[in-house]
Amino acid sequence: MPRKSKLTNLSEAAATISDGMRIAFGGFAIYQRPMALARELVRRGCRDLTVVGIVNSIETDILVGGGCIRRIETSYMGLEKYGLARNFRRAVEAGILDIIDYPELLAWDRFRANQENLPFWPCTFLGGSDVVTFNQDIILFECPISKRKLWAVPPADPDVVIVHAMIGDEFGNVAFPRRRLLPQSVDVTHTRSCDTVIVSVEKIVSTKEIRRHPELTEVPAFRTTHIVEAPFGAHPTSMLGLYTADDEHFDIYSKSSSNSDDFENYLDKYIRNVEGHLHYLEKIGLPKLIKLRTVEMTS
């Protein structure tokens, strides 16, 4: 049976996401977020999405500012050293976002529950925590073996997982660097928690190249539903071994999101009035992108 190419473009990949879906974004905090696809969702005008995550940042804040999200389930929303996620904060204060809080470890365990096809993840350490006071989805129960008090944490249950990686082939085999950090580990867990996985990559390579290092293919073709080539697809966040975060653009974003009018101007300049990802990169500028490139020597 011939293999089917899963190579597509950002617009077609984003078109698979319907209003009201539960979305999980790969990466972690301000590192390796699938920004090209997040911007495409804003451009398409998606609505009533639920973002379920571990530690969320600019990829979700942009969607909040674009009016795309009604609910967030995570442990953190912010820009780390770049400050507050101001679109998120305004929406919460205005009462237009449902916020469900999970401790960071349990936020990750929720995806592990889906990976293992478990109806819940058992937790032992929530006694005395107000997390269970305000999160009605976490259920207290007695362990049938030890008789200890435990808490059942619901799985993440994403409808779609979106990640950004370094390389992949047209069939959806995605390779990860030998040296990996927490964002890459998040991506691997996310892609094993859902049947619909959209991957953007810095470069599409030949299957022959992928086969040279089969041990690096953490996302095999059968798990991937769409793959898109998007160079600098994590900008303005960083990409391990390829480019650093764009401090200047984060500063522009932070200032623009300080009030809703300025952020509308940001959306118009960088998303709504932009034809696509390559046009976005033109706005950032080739000299800036080159300066962000890093060279990582490996043995």
Name the DSSP letter for residue 155.
P
227 phi/psi in degrees, rounded to 5: -135, 135
CATH topology of domain 7-101+158-285: Glutaconate Coenzyme A-transferase (3.40.1080)
Q: Does pLDDT of 299 surpass 60?
A: no
Determine what percent of the chain is predicted with pLDDT higher than 90: 91
Tell me what pLDDT residue 129 has: 86
Domain parsing of the chain, residue ranges:
7-101+158-285, 119-154
Tell me what pLDDT residue 242 has: 93
* Nearest alpha-carbon partner for 19 in 55, 56, 45: 45
* Nearest alpha-carbon partner for 48 in 29, 76, 68, 34: 68
Q: What is the chain's mean pLDDT, rounded?
A: 95
DSSP H or E run through 255 = helix 247-256
* Token pair listed for 168: 């992949």
- Euclidean distance between CA atoms 107 and 55, whole angstroms: 8
Q: Does pLDDT of 278 surpass 90?
A: yes
63-96 residue pLDDT tens:
999 999 999 999 999 999 999 999 999 999 999 9
- Euclidean distance between CA atoms 268 and 91, whole angstroms: 20
Q: Taking the C-alpha atoms of 262, 277, 250 and 296 in order, what is their torsion angle to the nearest 10 degrees?
A: 180
Task: Give the type of residue at 213.
Answer: H
Residues 6+ apart with CB under 8 A from 220: 172, 173
Asked if 169 contacts 204 with a C-beta cutoff of 8 angstroms, the reply is yes
Tell me what pLDDT residue 180 has: 79
Asked if 60 contacts 86 with a C-beta cutoff of 8 angstroms, the reply is no
- Cβ burial of 135 (10 Å; 0-12, 13-18, 19+) is buried
Please list the residues that pair with 239 across neighbouring strands: 243
Asked if 66 contacts 94 with a C-beta cutoff of 8 angstroms, the reply is no
Q: Tell which wins on pLDDT, 288 or 299.
A: 288
For residues 146-171, give the mean pLDDT.
Answer: 97
188-230 residue pLDDT tens:
999 999 999 999 999 999 999 999 999 999 999 999 999 999 9
70 phi/psi in degrees, rounded to 5: -115, -15
CA angle 120, 126, 130 (to 5 degrees): 110
6-59 residue pLDDT tens:
999 999 999 999 999 999 999 999 999 999 999 999 999 999 999 999 999 999
* Token pair listed for 73: 């389930």
* Token pair listed for 230: 């998007």
252 phi/psi in degrees, rounded to 5: -60, -45
Q: Does pLDDT of 288 surpass 80?
A: yes
- Euclidean distance between CA atoms 149 and 130, whole angstroms: 16
Q: Sorting pLDDT into bands at 50, 70 and 90, what band is 2?
A: confident
Backbone CA torsion sign across 288, 291, 241, 251: negative
Determine what percent of the chain is predicted with pLDDT higher than 70: 98
Q: Does pLDDT of 298 surpass 70?
A: no
Q: Does pLDDT of 144 surpass 80?
A: yes
